[in-house]
Structure 1
Amino acid sequence: MNKNKEFQKRKEMAIAKGQKNLFPIYIDKAVNAEIWDVEGSRYIDLCAGIAVTNVGHNHPKIMNALKGQMNEFTHSCLMINPYKSAIELAEKLNELVPIKYAKTVFLNSGAEAVENAVKIAKAFTKRSSVISFVGSFHGRTHMCLGLTGKFSPYKEGFGPFPSGIYHIPFPIENYNLTTENSLNTLKDLFKSTVKPTEIAAVIIEPVQGEGGFHIAPKKFLQELKEICDDYGILLICDEVQTGFARTGAFFAVEHYGIEPDIITIGKGLANGIPLSAVVGKKEVMDAAESLGGTFGGSPLGCQSALAVIDVINEEDLCNRALKIGKISVDNLKRLQSIYPDRIGSVRNSGAMIAIEFIKDGDFKNPDSEITKKIIDEVSKRGVLLLSCGMDGNIIRLLPPLTIELDLLREGLDIVDEVIVELFSKTI
């Protein structure tokens, strides 16, 4: 009996069509960077649940923290009967972010963090509009979909979206979108469409996630911050995917030498236990009178996150992310040198690694078909990968930061093998 097929059939009957699954592979157990399905097949996990299990599946320190909390209590609601772990975690986050005199609010998901960051920005500035970027992804709630700069599949059929949201180009050199292009578009927007004094915040991912792992140039983010400061606009860095050591620092914005006003955190914060946070300047955070939610800052989430921070520090996972990135990029660039007309770009920020597939050496001619074939084929050979990008032509690698390096190389070898085989069939 094929258990995966059986479960997939049951899933399609029981769960709404819109909550799709990339692989018909049903997980039974997982350890660090390896997953076993219900049929006993083993997979190398280069997804980490979309940058969630940064410290690996079932890390002993995380599991012990969770078991210890479960023996005490699982819920009281932070807004009714608070608990020590929430205070300790807020204190640690306030110290970790590159923001002086910070405060924190806890929520459940990345989308909730973004929603509340916008609410806080509006409360502080007394302004109503927000600027985001083409190619951005900020979540699936209605406000977050409005902020998201990628239409399909996220926004289709759900409009109209909240008003007062404007999108400008994200600078991507390969697409002939320079820092100057993006900043000039912003300045033109202020002249033609909306006064800067109506803008509460600009929200940006230092490294775009769903948009294609495009890395914001340092000059761009620094000049954007200067413009925001000139007009009293808050800069929100969406670090839901880039946070918690993923880029070689606790937060990607640390690579830019600027102080954002607000940072949104989720995904890797609690290593799979639902928990997110908004951390920002004290005076900004205190401007909102009502924040929170029933499950925000759950005891299990807080204990897991405290353990995650300990593991990142004790196992030096920021430097580990840099090492993972170098090993991966060196491997993939060698492949790119062989197929320069098929692999347009290999790039990374720490352990956020992307390989972009094009046709005939032209970035305007994305090869989403080969990307899908590669992901499908490597999954059959025991490696799990994800795609991203506006055209779905980019493979992203997000291995747990605790992955054994021999296991990483094994996974990369399989990816290499599949790409060579598929390219040989299409040349």
Structure 2
Amino acid sequence: MKLFDVYPLFDVNIVKGKGCKVWDENGQEYLDLYGGHAVISIGHAHPHYIEKVTEQLNKLGFYSNSVINKLQVELAERLGRISGYDDYQLFLINSGAEANENALKLASFTNGRTRVLSAEKAFHGRTSLAVEVTNNPKIIAPINDNGHVTYLPLNDLQAWEQELQKGDVCAVILECIQGVGGIKMVTKEFAQGLQRLCKQYGTVLICDEIQCGYGRSGKFFAHQWLDIRPDIITVAKGIANGFPMAGVLISPAFKPVYGQLGTTFGGNHLACAAALAVLDVFEEEHLVENANEVGSYLMEKLKAIDSPHIQDVRGRGLMIGIDLDCPHADVRKPLIYDQHCFTGCAGQNILRLLPPLCLTKQDADLFIEKLNKILNTL
């Protein structure tokens, strides 16, 4: 048997990591500005994380959600306090797509509607409902194309109002910083207007914080820069620093009904131990604040680069897009193979930076040096 070939792979086998560095099987060191696609929040192989996960594994790795798991209760309480959502409810599952599936499902259970508004260039996952609200026809199979979703231009409040005033919209789902869409930013005016309209027309407002949340933007959630408070928030990626986990934060206005939602693996003991270790490190090392400070520093350095190949730099915290005048592969490939630095990408010409939140200014300077070397060869 061989692997089903779904990704074009770089010819690098990463076997070890520490902080913002990773090493391949030949011992070559790489600077990690990708973070395993925004998943590594506290850094690779953090000693506290290793200690807490190992400690839990030596006790109990998994048991059914049919019995009390006090680690889930502790995680909900701490996440609520740290994020500013201590009055919300937490449902734990395994992945970002699953979080969005359950958020949309809960919205529909609540108001009985079926139509959803999503933004152009949005990405919300690859499973049934999650892929249907993703604005990419290449990954929506015929079985998922059920006509539930209307895609609208980001930040065009009038277009969204025209749809919401029809009174049949179940939910609005929104990334406050689009990741796959190219680090496109939601404006405060649009976000606040959209929240007002959702309340007016009985529509559930879902903020997808899977990539832009969990400290990445320099606040715990990206929507907190916009002074809104959504009905439902979805999280994943950085929540457990690489252990598969996700969550749905649910307004107290929603009342649970047994049997509507459920999960086998979600919120298992190992996952909760990992997620609690992440929150420990967030608080002890002030990583959300670091993301804001170092992200601002890196943005300034990037904007100061005198190169015709950089068209724009945008983002918040440690979620940054570099808009190039050439295909991103022209820069990304030599960054990996020649300068030994990982980045992400979006669209055809955007480098996407999603490093661990422990990135230092020295790491940022090193990246600028490596990037300049590549830009100067184009």
TM over 0.5: yes
TM-score (norm 2): 0.95
SS at match of 1:246: coil
Q: How is 1:3-402 mapped onto 2 (pairs within 5 angstroms)?
A: 14-18=2-6, 20-78=7-65, 80-99=66-85, 101-152=87-138, 154-155=139-140, 157=141, 159-171=143-155, 182-190=156-164, 195-196=166-167, 198-284=168-254, 286=256, 289-335=259-305, 337-339=306-308, 342-358=309-325, 367=326, 369=327, 371-380=328-337, 381-389=339-347, 392-402=348-358
Q: 1:400 to 1:185 in 2, by over 3 A?
A: same
Q: 1:299 to 1:17 in 2, by over 3 A?
A: same
CA contact (8 A) 2:77 2:86 kept: no
Q: 1:285 to 1:238 in 2, by over 3 A?
A: farther
CA contact (8 A) 1:100 1:281 kept: no
Structure 2 gaps of 5+ residues are: none
CA contact (8 A) 2:170 2:204 kept: yes
Structure 1 gaps of 5+ residues are: 1-12, 172-181, 359-366, 423-427
CA contact (8 A) 1:35 1:45 kept: yes
CA contact (8 A) 1:248 1:351 kept: yes
Which residue does the alignment assign to 1:9?
Answer: none
Query: What letter is aligned with 2:284?
Result: E
TM-score (norm 1): 0.85
- Higher share of residues assigned helix: 1
Alignment: residue pair count:
377
> Shift of residue 403 of structure 1?
2.4
Which consecutive aligned stretches of 4+ in structure 1 deviate over 6 angstroms post-superposition?
A: none
Query: What letter is aligned with 2:169?
Result: I
> Shift of residue 282 of structure 1?
1.9
Query: What letter is aligned with 1:50?
Result: H
Matched residues in 2 for 1:70 and 1:384: separation? 31
Matched residues in 1 for 2:315 and 2:144: separation? 35
SS at match of 1:283: coil
Q: What root-mean-square deviation, in Å, do the aligned CA atoms of Structure 1 and Structure 2 show?
A: 1.7
Deviations 1:96-148 (A, max 9, x none): 44446210111000000000000111111121111111111001102111100
Q: 1:160 to 1:59 in 2, by over 3 A?
A: closer
CA contact (8 A) 1:124 1:287 kept: no
SS at match of 1:227: helix
SS at match of 2:313: strand
Deviations 1:274-310 (A, max 9, x none): 1100001123252574212110011111111111111
Q: What is the percent sequence identity of the aligned residues?
A: 34
